[in-house]
Amino acid sequence: MSAELEGRAFLVGDDVDTDMLAPGAYMKGPVEELARHCLEALDPDFARRVQPGDILLAGRNFGTGSSREQAAQALSILGIRAVVARSFAGIFYRNALNLGLLAVVCPAWDGIAPLDRVRLDPRAGRLVHLASGRSFACRPIPAHLLEMVESGGIVPWLERRLAAGRAEGGR
């Protein structure tokens, strides 16, 4: 994964909750089906309007509510590359990184209109609004977590670690 991402900004407000991201009615079925209903309580056309490569720009307390990681997984399935929020609910933040979805805290981003293009540098902690050139400071993702995200999340990361441990133990 390259250090920087560029994409359209898809805007949502404060307190976007896990029941909106992963509606309970679809939790029993396949997550690909659930993803089609992601955020439909907020915007019935969300899953159709969002495009692979989009970056979700959110207000405070994004992902509040349940521990269901399908909330983060649904966004990944729809092609969202990263969520940039003023703040995150703790469990969602962990789930996103654990599933290889970038979650970046950006306390103040203003003047970005829906579908404007933005560039995100998670390592340095910077969000740039391409039209105006304005730059917003983000909290850099700690190196060990970025490594986990870049390897695709906690499962591939652990898979490698366990395999390395076995190889070592076998010598």
Partner 1 sequence: MAPTSAQKTSAQKIVAEAAGRKTVEPGELVTCRVDLVMLHDSGGPRRVAPILERLGARVWDPSRVVLVSDHYVPAVDPESARILDLTRRWGRTQGVARHYDMLGICHVVLAEHGHVRPGLFVVGGDSHTPTAGAFGAFAMGVGASEMAAVLATGEIWLEVPETLRILLLGRPGPGVVAKDVVLALCRRIGLGGAGYRAIEYAGDGLAGFGMEERMTLSNMAAELGGITGLIPPDRHTLAWLERAGVSLDPAELERWRSDPEAPVGETVRLELDGLAPQVAAPHSPANAAPVDEVEPVPIDQAYIGACTGAKLVDLRMAASVLRGRKVAAGTRLLVAPASARVWREAAADGTLATLTEAGAIMLPSGCGACAGYGAGVLAEGEVCIASTARNFKGRMGAPSSRVYLASPLTVAASAVAGRIADPRPFLAEGKPAEPISAEVDLVG
Binding site for partner 1 (CB under 8 A): 15, 17, 19-20, 23-25, 27-29, 40-42, 60-61, 64-69, 72, 87, 89-91, 93-95, 98-99, 142, 144, 153-155, 158-159, 162
139, 104 in Cβ contact below 8 A? yes
CA gap 109, 57 in Å, rounded: 9
**Which residues are CB-neighbours of 129 under 8 A, at least 6 positions away?**
109, 111, 112, 116, 118, 135, 136
CA gap 155, 134 in Å, rounded: 36
* Closer by beta carbon to partner 1, 7 or else 69: 69
- Output the smallest distance, CB 156 to partner 1, in A: 9
- Output the smallest distance, CB 161 to partner 1, in A: 9
* Closer by beta carbon to partner 1, 70 or else 118: 70
- Output the smallest distance, CB 49 to partner 1, in A: 18
Query: Given 3-state DSSP classes, what are the helix, strand and coil percentages for the chain, each rounded to the nearest 5?
Result: 35, 20, 45
- Output the smallest distance, CB 6 to partner 1, in A: 27
* Closer by beta carbon to partner 1, 54 or else 69: 69
* Closer by beta carbon to partner 1, 74 or else 118: 74
Angle, helices 154-170/143-150, rounded to nearest 10 degrees: 90
- Output the smallest distance, CB 31 to partner 1, in A: 9
φ, ψ for residue 135, nearest 5 deg? -120, 135
5 closest CA partner among 72, 45, 57, 46 = 57
* Closer by beta carbon to partner 1, 58 or else 118: 58
